[in-house]
Amino acid sequence: MKNINVFVYGSLRDGFFNYEKYLAGKVLEKKTAKLENMRLYHMPYKGYPAIISGEDIVNGEIIVIDPNFYEETIKAMDEMEGFKGKDNPENEYDKIILEVKNISYNEIEKCFVYFYNKNNDQRFEKESIYIQSGDWKKYMLSK
């Protein structure tokens, strides 16, 4: 089975702490990308972002993981994202496959996306901050 690339939009983007911890030295390529029909939020009480369904565009990167490190990297990312398994109600993020626009090559690519399970977060509605620009990296660098 072919490895599925991952769309990252938060702390796993190049230049952030989780990129260094989980992806540095394991990425063959990073492609500028956007995900449509989502809304991006910053959760200051957690220190990282969330995407949920919406009508915006979320900016990020498609990460191509070196096949030699793929399984271990995906497993570590799943743990970091609180993904316990498909359809598990305890997931902090669900890992789903969505069509992502690869801006680097102007094509659509199916990627894993970590989608926030806000039903498990009582603070989300009141405390999360909507990021209208759709770019968490820009938002964090402007703070």
**Interval 100-143: pLDDT, tens:** 999 988 999 999 999 999 999 999 999 999 999 999 999 999 97
pLDDT value at residue 65: 98
pLDDT, one tens digit per residue, over 13-70 is 999 999 999 999 999 999 999 999 999 999 999 999 999 999 999 999 999 999 999 9
Residue written as tokens 């743990």? Answer: 79
* Fold (topology level) of 6-132: Hypothetical upf0131 protein ytfp (3.10.490)
Let me know if 92 is a catalytic residue: no
CA dist 36 and 42 (Å) reads 18
Alpha carbon distance 84, 92 (integer Å): 8
Catalytic residue among 81, 99, 107, 125: 81
Whether the predicted pLDDT of 1 surpasses 70: no
Give me the pLDDT at residue 84, please: 97
Pairing relationship of beta strands 27-43 and 6-8 according to DSSP bridges: unpaired
Q: Report whether pLDDT(93) > 80.
A: yes
What gap in Å lies between CA 65 and CA 120, rounded to an integer? 30
Q: How far is CA 135 from the centre of its chain?
A: 11
